[in-house]
Amino acid sequence: MSFINILGHDFQKEFLLKSIEKGRVANSYLFYGQEGIGKRLIALEFAKLLNCKRKNDRLEETPGGVCECSSCLKIDSSNHPDVTLVKCEDSSEIKVKQIREQIEDLIYLKPYEGKYKVSIVNDAEAMNTNAQNAFLKTLEEPPGEAVIILISSKPQQLLKTIISRCQRLEFFRLSDQVIEDCIKQKGELSQDRYAIAVKLSQGSLAKAILLDEELISERKRIIEKISELKKDSAVELLEFVDSIASQKSSKEHDHLKIFFEILFMWLKDILYLKSNISDENLVHKDFYEISKKLSERWSAEHILELRSFLEEAWVSLFHRNVNKQYVLENLIIKFAQA
Ligand SMILES: [Zn+2]
């Protein structure tokens, strides 16, 4: 990977390159914007450029091109003594202990072999209150060679005092064209799936990469099954829940998230149809008939209520680690009663 190989975000890449060229690298940055669009990749590539042993040549040749100097290779393999990536470990929080050990204890030491000490905090909003307060102290007096990069899709959960001390750089969802190019490049989907995959990705490359034929067929199964849940017996219902909850692949967690996103977008489609907004906005265009029927059967209040059940289930599963089987059963029952 290299700066120029990362799709999209031209303005942000240019901005960071220029800051190195002009010797105006900030001590702390906040990269924010929706999840899965490449903020962490760009932070790592920026760390590589900052410490690259061939930096001057590279800025003249192809700015941000691929480099295989020892420093860049070490960062690629997460082995560079001056570059740290802090992230959630075994829980949904970044704790104060991590901030102390992975940032405070290291950042005041001279760079070991690079020019800068780079600390990247992924999902920075996951720092709990103590961690954020500890972090604030480091931000107030960072040493000259320190570059701290906070990455967040929910910057509103960060202390205002943290945000105000950072050079802020917003990242936007990728254009449909960029996503489509990526899907084509990957070559795993048949051509008639491109349009729906682009819609499902919602501007996120991470999601576009996850989408395969299996997930797209899964979507069909989910929508068809849920739209006729009412006719099912309790046993069939629970079998259906089992089939979602027991996918044992390594991507299981992400698949479950996509299951939820499919439902979120689908409810939005139904609401669009209810409000007679142009069909152009529909994500699941190929399920027009089913969605239209439900939009006639359900009231707007009811659709919004289902949406809030979905949101609650999302929080229980992904932020509170409530038993998966239990959450999904409850959710499916709500849809069955709709
Ligand atoms: Zn290099």
Mean pLDDT, residues 15-27? 92
Q: Where are the domains of the chain?
A: 3-170, 212-336
Q: Which fold has domain 212-336?
A: Zinc Finger, Delta Prime; domain 3 (1.20.272)
pLDDT score for 127: 94
Mean pLDDT, residues 83-91? 86
Residue partners of 110: CB distance under 8 A and separation at least 6: 145
- Give the integer Cα–Cα distance in Å for 25 and 17: 9
- Give the integer Cα–Cα distance in Å for 150 and 234: 47
The DSSP code for 246 is T
Q: Say how many Å lie between the CA of residue 172 and the centre of ligand 1.
A: 27
Q: Say how many Å lie between the CA of residue 62 and the centre of ligand 1.
A: 12
Q: Say how many Å lie between the CA of residue 119 and the centre of ligand 1.
A: 18
Cα–Cα distances (Å) from 240 to 31, 229, 243, 250, 333, in that order, read 40, 10, 5, 20, 11
263 token code pair: 């439902």
pLDDT score for 273: 92
Q: Say how many Å lie between the CA of residue 86 and the centre of ligand 1.
A: 22
Residue 59 has pLDDT above 70, yes or no: no
Question: Which helix (H) or strand (E) covers residue 119, if one does?
Answer: strand 117-121
Question: Which helix (H) or strand (E) covers residue 130, if one does?
Answer: helix 129-140
Residue 184 has pLDDT above 70, yes or no: yes
How many CB atoms lie under 10 A from the CB of residue 118? 26
Note the ipTM here. 0.99
Residue 5 has pLDDT above 60, yes or no: yes
Distance, first Cα to last Cα, the chain: 48
pLDDT band at 58 (very low <50, low <70, confident <90, very high): low
- Average pLDDT of the chain, as a whole number: 86
Q: Say how many Å lie between the CA of residue 57 and the centre of ligand 1.
A: 10
Q: Is 268 exposed, middle or buried (0-12, 13-18, 19+ CB in 10 A)?
A: middle
Residue type, 176: D
Mean pLDDT, residues 269-294? 87
Closest by Cα among 64, 50, 133 to 96: 133
Residue 63 has pLDDT above 60, yes or no: no
pLDDT score for 42: 94
Q: Say how many Å lie between the CA of residue 74 and the centre of ligand 1.
A: 9
Q: Is 166 helix (H, G, I), strand (E, B) or coil?
A: coil
Look up the CATH number of domain 3-170: 3.40.50.300
Cα–Cα distances (Å) from 243 to 70, 216, 228, 268, in that order, read 47, 16, 17, 24
**pLDDT digit string (tens) for 214-226?**
778 778 888 888 8
Residue 144 has pLDDT above 80, yes or no: yes
**pLDDT digit string (tens) for 199-209?**
888 888 888 87
Q: Say how many Å lie between the CA of residue 48 and the centre of ligand 1.
A: 6
233 token code pair: 């017996």
Closest by Cα among 212, 225, 215, 223 to 285: 223
Q: Say how many Å lie between the CA of residue 118 and the centre of ligand 1.
A: 15
Residue partners of 86: CB distance under 8 A and separation at least 6: 94, 98, 99, 102, 103, 119, 120, 121, 122
Q: Say how many Å lie between the CA of residue 65 and the centre of ligand 1.
A: 9
Would you list the DSSP string of 292-332? HHHHHHS-HHHHHHHHHHHHHHHHHHHTS---HHHHHHHHH
- Give the integer Cα–Cα distance in Å for 92 and 125: 10
Q: Say how many Å lie between the CA of residue 64 and the centre of ligand 1.
A: 10
Name the least confident of 15-29, 122-136, 322-336: 322-336
pLDDT band at 51 (very low <50, low <70, confident <90, very high): very high
Q: Say how many Å lie between the CA of residue 52 and the centre of ligand 1.
A: 4
Q: Say how many Å lie between the CA of residue 132 and the centre of ligand 1.
A: 32
Beta bridge partners of 148: 28, 119
Q: Say how many Å lie between the CA of residue 75 and the centre of ligand 1.
A: 9
